[in-house]
Structure 1
Amino acid sequence: MGNYRESGEVLFMKNGMKKTAAVVMAAMLMGTGAVVPAAEDMGIFSQTAIVAEAASVGKVTGLKSKTLSNSEIQLKWSKVKGASGYTVYMRKNGKYNKLGDCKGTSYTVKKLPNATRENFKVRAYKTVKGKKVYGEYSANWNTATNPQTCKGLKVSKVGTDSVKLSWTKIGCTNYRIYQNIKGKWKEIGKTTGTSYTVKKLAPATKYQFKIRACKQDDKKTNNNHYGKYSGVVTATTKKSDKITQADIDAMKAELTAYSREKATYIKEHYTEFWKYGIDYNTLEEYFSMLENKLTPENGSYSDVYTIPFDDKNIDEITKIFKEQIEYEYKQDSNVYYVVYVETCPNGHRINPKPCWAIYFLY
């Protein structure tokens, strides 16, 4: 009887030591984040073996992603040595829920809503005696799906130096606006609304625009996901209702050509001008010489007219000046009238407002 007790005590002590070792290993493993199967599911010797295996499952690192479309995201990560497979999780309502298992180091999440921000984690596992033993979770990875293609883009308003665009609202962080500049599309602005006014455009000019939606991963990063471009819209700005420098230059050129046409006496007697020491090869050279040489300081003029900067209807003004040129030639036909324009930003002696001063020199 005494030997039996001794034998039993020894057996009890051996089992106690193994159980103690298993508990210690389990406690150590829990500190690493590994998941250990419950003790009631297996014998104490099996539990000890699984605890040892779990301790060797590495943590997933290098988790990254590629957004494939407005409903699919592909996750990729670094291989964990000795892992049997990987489990992918996505956060929902504050918890990470399992999406699925895979053997390789990539997983495509499908059927996601467009323009949504998602968070993922991955962890590796080993299969030991039919049970999955997990390593630690990877770090969280945040990304988003692409927005839809923008629709309904239209030109809602056109001014002399601006074009207002508008479109249909879709889910996204913001909208990016693009303009075709010298054959290349350039991003010119962004907005969170469904309209945008392009400013500082030239009057009476054709422009092309398109847009696309953007979704950012989160507010702290600049990692953007874009929808496809919208269709292209074309807009032509209105002709300016104010006289510009370009209008004045065009008017001067038109009046100069008109003055040359009316200078009948000059054209008929040009060949006689050599008597007066004027030696030019062509009549065109003679006209150009006078136009480049004469100024209000060194020439004579019949009168001076002014056009305020904020005046309107350059066509009507040009018509009036043509009539004035015709009148001048009737008064004195043997001279050539040169149209001279002087910019007066601080006003002129006959007009205190900022204006252009127009002279008919001879």
Structure 2
Amino acid sequence: MKNGMKKTAAVVMAAMLIGTGAVVPAAEDMGIFSQTAIVAEAASVGKVTGLKSKTLSNSEIQLNWSKVKGASGYTVYMRKNGKYNKLGDCKGTSYTVKKLPNATRENFKVRAYKTVKGKKVYGEYSANWNTATNPQACKGLKVSSVGTDSVKLSWTKIGCTNYRIYQNIKGEWKEIGKTTGTSYTVKKLAPATKYQFKIRACKQDDKKTNNNHYGKYSGVVTATTKKSDKITQADIDAMKAELTAYSREKAEYIKKHYTEFWKYGTDFNTLEEFFELKEGSVTPETASYDAVYTVPYTQSSLSDTIEVYKSELDYLYNKYGNTYYVVYIQDCPSGNNVNPNPCWAVYFLY
């Protein structure tokens, strides 16, 4: 009667443990009293918690978890074809999975076990952990085309979720965009300017998270945007400043006689003050000028255009020794007979 009660108790405990996920050795492998002892031990095997990972490379993932009190070891599982298959056992709380394909998502579970009478008695599985290996390093990055304000990059396709594009901005690499394709156009760049770019591939753990794994950076490519045919106000301002400075150096007469000139109702004490007054008040509408010199311009001939105007200044100072202010620049005025347009007009004022 007593043996019958013990057997019944053992069966009941075994049924309870099976309901919790614990694995109990078959009854035919041992006597009922040994099975009862194993069932009791199995009841104390805790569930693995805190399962996390660290992606070591494009083929290795290191799993880590919290220690289970009293556990003899742990068994690691990876899902394949919808089923969790055993990878191996370990004594500690870390396990490195090797020889994985690059840029692939993997799912893992771990459970603890106790060894009783030479048999493994398992606790519950841990929660599923999803992670991924790193992609390969990107290869084949090149500059496909260059515009005045854009650079198109392209590269070789590899396995990944997306590609991240980086630009060297003031000595620091900054991410400027991403794409799932194998090309990307960087826009809003300055003309005639050198830029550096590189890329790397990214693999996400799953579509709902932002836990990213990156491959190594590609090599760096350099591109110089084309010169623009469009003349900006900044171009005009720079040209005016350069020619104004040049004309000041040529104005020998004014350097000697500026204190004798009409002061526009305002006192000035230095030659610099005199020039500033002139530059702030004299225009073609308020002063006399002998001629309007016009030269067609394009970005490619900007420096040549400035040299042409400098030669005109030299001519003017040789012709009019008492000229004291000579430069005023604007777009060619309406009605001015200039062919072809567009052009800059430079007025030599007196």
In structure 2, do the counterparts of structure 1 residues 276 and 212 end up closer, same or farther at CA, with 3 Å as the change threshold?
closer
Cα distance, 1:172 vs structure 2: 0.8
Alignment of 1:271 onto 2:256: yes
Give the SS at the match of 1:255: helix
Q: Report Cα offsets for 1:66-103 as digits up to 9, x if no partner.
A: 11111111001011011110000000000000000000
Give the SS at the match of 2:181: coil
User: Quick one: which of 193, 209, 230 aligns to 1:221?
Assistant: 209
Q: Which has the larger radius of gyration?
A: 1
Q: Is the 8 A contact 2:254 2:323 kept in 1?
A: no
Within 5 Å, which residues of 2 pair with 1:105-124? Answer: 105-124=93-112
Give the aligned residue type for 1:198.
V
Matched residue, 1:26:
14
- The whole-number CA distance in structure 2 between the counterparts of 1:200 and 1:358 is 32
- The whole-number CA distance in structure 1 between the counterparts of 2:116 and 2:254 is 115
In structure 2, do the counterparts of structure 1 residues 160 and 311 end up closer, same or farther at CA, with 3 Å as the change threshold?
closer
User: Paired residues, what number?
Assistant: 343
- The whole-number CA distance in structure 1 between the counterparts of 2:298 and 2:260 is 47
Q: Is the 8 A contact 1:216 1:224 kept in 2?
A: yes
Alignment of 1:85 onto 2:73: yes
Cα distance, 1:335 vs structure 2: 2.3
Matched residue, 2:29:
41
Cα distance, 1:24 vs structure 2: 0.7
- The whole-number CA distance in structure 2 between the counterparts of 1:307 and 1:143 is 66
- The whole-number CA distance in structure 2 between the counterparts of 1:196 and 1:34 is 53
Alignment of 1:243 onto 2:228: no
Q: Report Cα offsets for 1:255-293 as digits up to 9, x if no partner.
A: 324544665xxx146424444467977766654543344
Give the aligned residue type for 1:76.
N
Within 5 Å, which residues of 2 pair with 1:1-362? Answer: 13-260=1-248, 263=251, 267-268=252-253, 270-276=255-261, 286-296=274-284, 298-301=286-289, 314=302, 318=306, 321=309, 334-341=322-329, 359-362=347-350
The TM-score, its normalising length taken from structure 2, stands at 0.85
In structure 2, do the counterparts of structure 1 residues 354 and 25 end up closer, same or farther at CA, with 3 Å as the change threshold?
farther
Q: Report Cα offsets for 1:27-82 as digits up to 9, x if no partner.
A: 11112111111222222222211111111100000000111111111001011011
Q: Is the 8 A contact 1:36 1:54 kept in 2?
A: yes
Cα distance, 1:317 vs structure 2: 5.3
Q: Is the 8 A contact 2:227 2:300 kept in 1?
A: no
Give the aligned residue type for 1:171.
G
Q: Is the 8 A contact 1:85 1:104 kept in 2?
A: yes
Cα distance, 1:348 vs structure 2: 7.6
Which runs of 5 or more structure 1 residues have no equivalent in the other structure? 1-12
- The whole-number CA distance in structure 1 between the counterparts of 2:236 and 2:321 is 26
In structure 2, do the counterparts of structure 1 residues 51 and 321 end up closer, same or farther at CA, with 3 Å as the change threshold?
same
- The whole-number CA distance in structure 2 between the counterparts of 1:213 and 1:85 is 37
Give the SS at the match of 1:212: strand
- The whole-number CA distance in structure 2 between the counterparts of 1:235 and 1:177 is 14
Which runs of 5 or more structure 2 residues have no equivalent in the other structure? none
- The whole-number CA distance in structure 1 between the counterparts of 2:285 and 2:54 is 73
Q: Report Cα offsets for 1:237-266 as digits up to 9, x if no partner.
A: 111121122321232134324544665xxx
In structure 2, do the counterparts of structure 1 residues 111 and 333 end up closer, same or farther at CA, with 3 Å as the change threshold?
same
Q: Is the 8 A contact 2:227 2:299 kept in 1?
A: no
Q: Is the 8 A contact 2:202 2:215 kept in 1?
A: yes
Aligned-residue CA RMSD in angstroms? 3.2
Q: Is the 8 A contact 1:242 1:313 kept in 2?
A: no
